[in-house]
Amino acid sequence: MVKYVVEKNGKLMPSNEMKKIAWVSDEKIYKDAEKNPVKFWERLAEEGISWEKKWKKPYVEKLPYFEWFKGGKLNFCFNCLDRHLKNNGNKVALIWVPEPTGEKTIKLTYKQLHEKVCRFANVLKKNGVRKGDAVSIYLPMIPEALIVMLACTRIGAIHSVVFSAFSADALKSRIEDCKAKILVTSDGYYRRGEEEELLGKAKEAAEKTTIKKIIVVRRLGKKLDKELDFEEEIKKAKADCDCETVNSEDIMFILYTSGTTGKPKGIVHDTGGYAVQAYWTCKWNFNLHDDDIMWCTADVGWITGHSYAFYGPLLNGCTTLVYEGSPDFPDYGRWWKIIQDNKVTVFYTAPTAIRMFMKAGDEWPRKYNLGSLKILGTVGEPINEEAWMWYFNRIGSKRCPVIDTWWQTETGGTLINSLPGIGPFVPTVSGRSFPGTRHIVVDDKGKEVKNGETGNLVQLSPFAPGMLHGVYKNHEKYVETYWRFKTKYDTSDGAYIKNGLIRMTGRTDDVMKVAGHRLATAELEDAISKDNSVAECAVVPIADEIKGQVPVAFVVLKSGEGSEEIEKEIKKFVDKKIGPTARPAKIYFVEDLPKTRSGKIMRRILKALLNNEDPGNLMTLINPEIVEKIKEIIQKSSEKA
């Protein structure tokens, strides 16, 4: 079995075998890109994307706004599908695995996908959708989600995908903000073997809005009322549809951040810049070749699902795999069986999922042959060392590089990680800025800090091509949220740079100040997770009269129940790993942590529970029932005290 990683001088580095197949294996690329980032991206745009008309200016900056490839014209759908038809029309573009084990896996070739996209593009046009109009998409992880998104890009319509687990109110607010004409949804989907209803929420959300028609994918086979049947409509539509030419700077999609309170932010992404960044980051970060099969486990309701479950692999002419359901259905071997059965080569998932499988036990991955894997990736939040090593050892068999990616909804694509042909691959460390981009760490006044000091991660000009192009119809929010440092893009993430490598420390609002010492929650979580008894943990700060703030930990044990003895043991462990300053004031032992379906731990909910406040909207959670259980644990502990 080929080893793609070797240890050199105490570091995990790409092997000669990896260097041979890597698109990028020479560190010189970083220096070359930094000499003239605009020229660098201009070259990549010419090589990676098919343009109908070349741009007049590669980059125009009038902060807080900037544009890439100004004057250039293209069609995004053409780049994902049409240009691959001549040589790879019969190649599988999409592998779809349904959750019910009795249903067959569906495979669509580029030619088949192209026809379906053309047909649905004609359905949209028939129902009044024109270039620049918005279409709301409220679909689970089924093939139709990709078909609808590509159909929108084919005719120049703006798509707004809304996570299928969101409430009717959340969907409604997004429809109203972008004034969508059409809503595409399904009657439901499967989750942990149960049918999840969706159409009722969609209909409720569409009432008294700009929605003219609701088009429904009958995933569960339920009868429709006045809605249009997706399958019936595409059967009646023509199988060919010309691509609409759009400007590079035209809006391609709006993706709303979930937001805990108030109006969600509509993050705007353009067409040309996003296409270039999605193509190259997917190709280089995951070393995608023609015969690769990539599985990004993210839901399409999030940016990761947009860029790496759907668009990135298709822009590269590869095969992408999509799975409908829960990772633990019917058992904890489901994901590993999917990798084995479909010979997945690139696997990209969240640290939360990795920790869940760690807790389930090594016997599950051992049952399956994971030898097809070449690249492993993580996304969503900083990964602790134990989870990183388990992923590397158990899933990659110590032979696959782990690409720890940092990026955001706002950045459109990955921006910080190690490249598989260059490395190094260091547990908990993301790596370097993607060639052609530059990040530094600054203090609260915007001044660059010393090497190794924690501060605010910012991006410097010229800003990456896939970056957001504003908040939809809300200039003030855009400036207020991202430009407090005026000429630097504020990521709102904490980090430090050591030996040229960037380590993320979590959101800047997750940085505590304990007795005058800055302490990142991610750093403390990583330390606690190294204790042999701990499966997973989350740390949040609470106010303290003497120290200002103190950390409180919520811990999920690998087995058994929590006790005062285990709490003392963990505190001693933290003292040893970081120091007494970082010692948690209190440890709550819980059976699970509140998480979104994309794998993020919702620390703001834990903070609210500690402060006896309303935890707010729980609609993004995959396990909302855990919130009440944690609340009871906190209350019982307070009563004892």
**Whether residues 301 and 367 fall in one domain:** yes
Do 204 and 265 have their domain in common? yes
- Identify whether residues 71 and 104 lie together within a single domain: yes
Short-list 245, 287, 298, CA closest to 15: 287
Task: Please give the helix or strand (H or E) that residue 412 lies within, else none.
Answer: none
Neighbours of 575 (CB within 10 A): 14
Whether the Cβ atoms of residue 437 and residue 409 lie closer than 8 Å to each other: no
546 shares its domain with 453:
no
Cβ neighbours for 550, distance < 8 A, ≥ 6 positions apart: 512, 514, 541, 542, 544, 584, 585
Say what the pLDDT of residue 135 is.
Answer: 98
Q: CA 573, CA 577: separation in Å to the nearest integer? A: 6
Helix H or strand E encompassing 576: helix 564-577
**DSSP 8-class letter at 64:** T
Residue 448 lies in a domain: yes
H-only helix segments in 385-520: 385-390, 475-482
Looking at the domain assignment, is residue 564 inside a domain?
A: yes
CA atoms within 13 A on the CB side of 200: 4
Q: What is the pLDDT of residue 42?
A: 98
Q: φ, ψ for residue 499 (rounded to 5)?
A: 55, 35
Give residue 383's pLDDT. 87
Cα–Cα–Cα angle for 50, 379, 1, rounded to 5 degrees: 85
* 365 occurs within a structural domain: yes
Residue 269 near residue 252 (C-beta atoms within 8 A): yes
| 393 Cα distance to chain centroid | 23
CA–CA dist 180, 210 (Å, integer): 6
Same domain (yes/no): 543, 480: no
Residue 428 phi/psi, 5° resolution? 75, -5
In the listed set 471, 497, 523, which residue is the last one of a domain according to the structure?
497
Instruction: Please give the sequence-ordered ranges of beta strands (E in DSSP) within 282-391, or none if there are none.
Output: 293-296, 319-323, 346-349, 375-378
Instruction: Compute the half-sphere exposure of residue 75: CA atoms within 13 Å on the CB side of its CA.
Output: 19
User: Could you tell me if residue 505 is inside a domain?
Assistant: no
The token duo for 196 is: 């999840």
- Structural domain includes residue 548: yes
Q: Are residues 360 and 442 in the same domain?
A: yes
What is the reported pTM?
A: 0.86
Same-domain status, 279 and 424:
yes
Q: Is position 71 within any domain?
A: yes
> Regarding beta strands 455-459 and 439-442, do their DSSP bridges make them parallel or antiparallel, or are they unpaired?
antiparallel
Q: Please, what is the end-to-end C-alpha distance for the chain in angstroms?
A: 57
CB crowding 45-65: b at 16 or more within 10 Å, else e: beebbebeeebeebbbeeeee
Last residue of a domain, one of 497, 526, 548: 497
The verdict on residue 73 lying in a domain is yes
pLDDT of residue 259: 45
Q: Are 624 and 576 members of one domain?
A: yes
Non-local (6+) Cβ contacts of 67 within 8 A are 59, 60, 61, 248, 249, 270, 273, 469
Burial group, residue 91, by CB count within 10 angstroms (0-12, 13-18, 19+): middle
Q: Are 421 and 19 contacting, i.e. CB atoms less than 8 angstroms apart?
A: yes
DSSP H/E element including 183: strand 182-186
Pairing of strands 432-433, 439-442: unpaired
SS3 362: coil
Q: Residue 543: which of 611, 484, 477 has the closest Cα?
A: 611
Q: Residues 491, 531: one domain?
A: no
pLDDT of residue 620: 75
Q: List the structure tokens of 499.
A: 């030996």
One-letter amino acid for residue 628 of the chain: E
Q: What is the CATH number of the domain that holds 130?
A: 3.40.50.12780
Torsion of CA 397, 401, 404, 408, to 10 degrees: -110
Lateral strand order in the sheet of 489-498: 439-442, 455-459, 489-498, 501-507
Same domain, 610 and 491: no
Instruction: Tell me how many domains the chain contains.
Output: 2
Examine the domain organization and report whether 529 and 487 are in the same domain: no
Give the integer Cα–Cα distance in Å for 89 and 110.
5
- The residue from 467, 497, 527 where one domain ends is 497
523 and 482 assigned to the same domain: no
Instruction: Tell me the residue range of the domain where 547 lies.
Output: 515-640
- DSSP assignment letter at 393: I
Contacts of 421 (CB under 8 A, 6+ apart): 14, 18, 19, 21, 22, 23, 24, 25, 287
CB of 531 within 8 A of CB of 515?
no
Predicted pLDDT at 510: 66
What's the 3-state SS for 118-141? HHHHHHHHHCCCCCCCEEEEECCC
CATH number at residue 519: 3.30.300.30
Residue 576 included in any domain: yes
Mean pLDDT by groups of 10 residues along the chain of 641 residues: 91 96 97 97 98 98 97 98 97 98 97 98 98 98 98 98 86 94 97 93 96 98 96 97 98 80 81 98 97 96 95 98 95 97 97 89 96 96 90 97 96 98 96 98 95 94 98 94 96 93 82 66 82 91 78 93 91 81 91 83 90 82 91 86 62
Query: Which amino acid makes up residue 531?
Result: D
